[in-house]
Amino acid sequence: MELENTKGMNSSFNKKKHPHRRYNPLLDEWILVSPQRANRPWQGQIEKVAEEQLPAHDPNCYLCSGNLRVNGERNPDYTGVYVFENDFGSLMKDDVEFSNEQSDFFSLKPERGINRVICFSENHSLTLPEMEVSDIKKVVDVWQQQYEELGAEDYINHVQIFENKGSVMGCSNPHPHGQIWAQSSIPSTVLKTQENLKKYFDKKGSSLLEDYVKKELEAGERIILENEDFVALVPFWAVWPYETMIISKRKAENILQFSDSEKLSLASIVKDLTTKYDNLFEISFPYSAGIHQSPTDGKPHAEWHFHMHFYPPLLRSAEIKKFMVGYEMLAEPQRDITPEQSAVILKKLSLKYYKS
């Protein structure tokens, strides 16, 4: 005799209490949310970590102005933003001969590209939240210039702009800087995002992220910051505890389509968001952040909508981190604290920098 399964059916679903899965339309993936594992509100736990007081100029830093780099070249006495080719790039420009001998299990192809480093400031001690908005705007200007310059190379089909902040994110130098990897292929995650953006655009005739932002603004649950041109929010499908996205309100396929005032708005919201991050545990908050925008392959990309991801690893304090292990490596991503809880915490944080 088959018994009817009634277990767990005596209460109505509550997203704040019951395990559930959430759909990420950008990647066509699901994540598991387990709010019952972290149902007590965050208590504002701050475990102070001794932070090294950095000088404005470090004579031993290979990114500081006027200093010798590891390849024997000397940096100019720059002020503001400085860009150079990565001395230990992951990609090479060489166009090599290749015999295309592929099989079902052993497929490979050469990958060409250019790696560059962007120093945000000559001041070794600064990070983005400690910089003036006008100086962050100069970084945005360079992002725009580099996207255009590198994308104009006939073999470059994608330009990835990103920043790793903090040693926990693999950043080997505290000098304020980011990177650009420009390559001949469109990377897997970007390609997957593009496919889903196009699927939505072809079906609806509108931008997935433009429609999403409108719904998020109506809901108001996950919005952290908003200005005239951009919103910063915790995505409904966020995986990392304090993951956020900055999304342009207007559908712009890439950074080249932003006006000067929009670039200033982007600089402003980047400063405000990263300030909130640092204020969360009163430390220089680590993260990996990067821009997703249309490829530079010369094809029309009406489906694309500029956005920027922030993936920070910290969970409950400066010492407690989120790791992708076990179930997450074998099955799918999982989180305890809900995106809505994270949004409440981040939204309440001051924009006055904790060191001031």
Q: How far apart are CA 292 and CA 51, in angstroms?
A: 32
Query: Which is nearest to 312 in space by CA: 334, 338, 341, 280?
Result: 280
Beta bridge partners of 245: 233, 309
DSSP H helical segments within the chain, as ranges? 133-151, 188-204, 208-219, 260-281, 327-330, 339-348
DSSP assignment letter at 8: T
220: Cα separation from own chain's centroid: 22
Residues in the chain: 356
Picking from 191, 265, 273, the residue whose alpha carbon sits closest to that of residue 230 is: 265
Task: Please tell me the number of Cα atoms within 13 Å of 222 on its side-chain side.
Answer: 21
Instruction: Match 């767990």 to its residue by tokens.
Output: 8
Centre a 10 Å sphere on the Cβ of residue 94 and count the other Cβ atoms it contains: 7
How far is 21 from 203, CA to CA, in rounded Å?
Answer: 24
Active site residues: 177
CA distance 2 to 252: 57
Amino acid letter, residue 326: G
- Using only the alpha carbons of the chain, give its radius of gyration: 22
